[in-house]
Amino acid sequence: MNSISVIGAGSWGTVLANLLALKGSQVRLWAYEKETVEAIAKYRENKPFMPGLALSPNITPTNSLSEAVGAAAYVILVVPTQFIRRILEKAAPLIGKDAVVITAAKGVERGTLKTASAIIRQFTGNEIAALSGPSFADEVAAKRPTAVTLAIAAHSTHVHIIQDMFYTEYFRVYTNEDIVGVELGGALKNVIAIASGICDGLGLGLNARAALITRGLSEIIRLGVALGAKENTFSGLSGLGDLVLTCTGNLSRNYTVGLRLGRGETPAEILSDMKTVAEGVETSASAYELACRTGVEMPIVEQVYKVIHESRNPDAAVRELMSRELKEEFRHG
C-alpha cells in the first residue's frame, strides 16, 4: 500500500491520516508537539486535538521530519499556511524526488501573498496537488457524507491514484485542474466566514447573512479571476460549497471568531484563548493587500481587515457596507 506522510496533527491532519490508514496505507503522522505524539502512541487517540477518535494501528506518530517524509510517496501538508514555509525549510530536502506534495491548507501567506502551492514551489520541484472543499473534521471523523475537490494537473499520472487513495463510501473526491482557483476559494472563504460570524453576532438576521455570503462570493470570484483562476471553479465544492459551510456552520473556527467579534470581544481576547488556528485572521490581511495590488474591489474583505487589524467597530463596518454607492449587481462591485 501507499507510504504516506501527514505533516500536521491538528484535527484535520489527524482525521485525514486516519481515513488513509483505515484504507490500508501506512501513515506517518508528524506533530510539532511532543505530547501529541506521546498521546497517540500511548492511547491511539489524539487527545489534545481530536479526542474520542480511535486511531488506526497503521498510523505511526513522530516528531521527526526526516522519519516522517523520508520514504513517503505522498507528503500531505496539513499545517496553517503561515507555518508552511518554516516546515519546508527543514522538510523539503528530505522529500523524495518522485513524491507528490499535497496541500490541505486554506490560507494566503502574509507578506509574500502566496498560496500553499506557490510556497511549496519555492522549495521543491515535486509535483503538487491541493485538497479542499466543505469538510469539517468532526463530521469526516464521524463518517458523515462529505465531498471535496482534489486539484492537480490534468496530465498527472497521479490523478486517479490520489483520488482513489482518499475515496471512501463517505468521502467522495472530485478532481479539478485549477489549483489556483481551488486554493483561493478555500482561503478567501475564511475571510467571508468571519464577516458572516460578525453578522450573526450583531443579530442582523438571515437576510443580511444571505446577502453577505452572496456578495462575498462575488468578491472571491473577482479576485480569483484576476489572479488567474477559472471562474467556474468558484461555483464548485472549493468555492461555493466551502463558503456556505464555513459561513453557516458553528463548527467553523473562522465563523466563531466573527461571532465573538460581533458580540463585542476584541481580536486579542479571542485569539488568546483559541487552541487552534483560524486561517481567516491572517488571510484577511493578505486578501486585502491582494485586492489593493490588483485593483479589485472587495468591500467585505476590506471591512473584515479593518475590524481585525485596525480595531474598527463592527457596527461601523456594516454601516459603511450598506451606505456604499448603489450599483448594478453583475457589472460592478
pLDDT tens-place string over residues 258-295: 999 999 999 999 999 887 889 999 999 999 999 999 99
The secondary element (H helix, E strand) that includes residue 116 is: helix 116-123
Spans of the chain below 70 pLDDT = 1, 331-333
* Angle, vertex CA 214, rays to CA 311 and CA 329, nearest 5: 105
Cα separation, 89 vs 39, whole angstroms: 27
Residue 176: predicted pLDDT: 97
Query: Are the C-beta atoms of 300 and 209 separated by less than 8 Å?
Result: no
Please give the grid coordinates belonging to residue 5. 506522510
Q: Across the strands, what pairs with 5? A: 28, 75
Radius of gyration of the chain (CA): 19
CA distances from 287 to 146, 161, 277 (A): 27, 33, 17
What homologous superfamily does CATH list for 180-322? Answer: N-(1-d-carboxylethyl)-l-norvaline Dehydrogenase; domain 2 (1.10.1040.10)
CA distances from 234 to 23, 117, 182, 186 (A): 30, 18, 8, 10
User: Could you tell me which residues come within 8 angstroms of residue 262 by beta carbon, excluding any fewer than 6 positions away?
Assistant: 197, 198, 199, 200, 201, 202, 203, 314
| Delimiting residues of CATH 3.40.50.720 domain(s) in the chain | 3-179
Cell 498560496 -> residue? 115
Query: Are the C-beta atoms of 287 and 108 separated by less than 8 Å?
Result: yes
Which is it for strands 146-151 and 127-132: parallel, antiparallel or unpaired? antiparallel
User: Could you tell me which residues come within 8 angstroms of residue 149 by beta carbon, excluding any fewer than 6 positions away?
Assistant: 131, 132, 133, 173, 174, 175, 176, 182, 236, 237, 238
The secondary element (H helix, E strand) that includes residue 100 is: strand 100-103
**Among all residues, which ones are annotated catalytic?**
189
| Delimiting residues of CATH 1.10.1040.10 domain(s) in the chain | 180-322
Query: Measured on CA atoms in the order 265, 266, 267, 273, is the torsion positive or negative?
Result: negative
Residue 274: predicted pLDDT: 84
Query: Are the C-beta atoms of 128 and 117 separated by less than 8 Å?
Result: yes
Residue 49: predicted pLDDT: 93
| CB neighbours of residue 274 within 10 Å | 13
User: Could you tell me which residues come within 8 angstroms of residue 15 by beta carbon, excluding any fewer than 6 positions away?
Assistant: 50, 53, 137, 140, 141
Closest CA to 298 of 181, 215, 201: 215
Residue 323: predicted pLDDT: 96
CA distances from 208 to 10, 202, 318 (A): 33, 11, 10
What homologous superfamily does CATH list for 3-179? Answer: NAD(P)-binding Rossmann-like Domain (3.40.50.720)
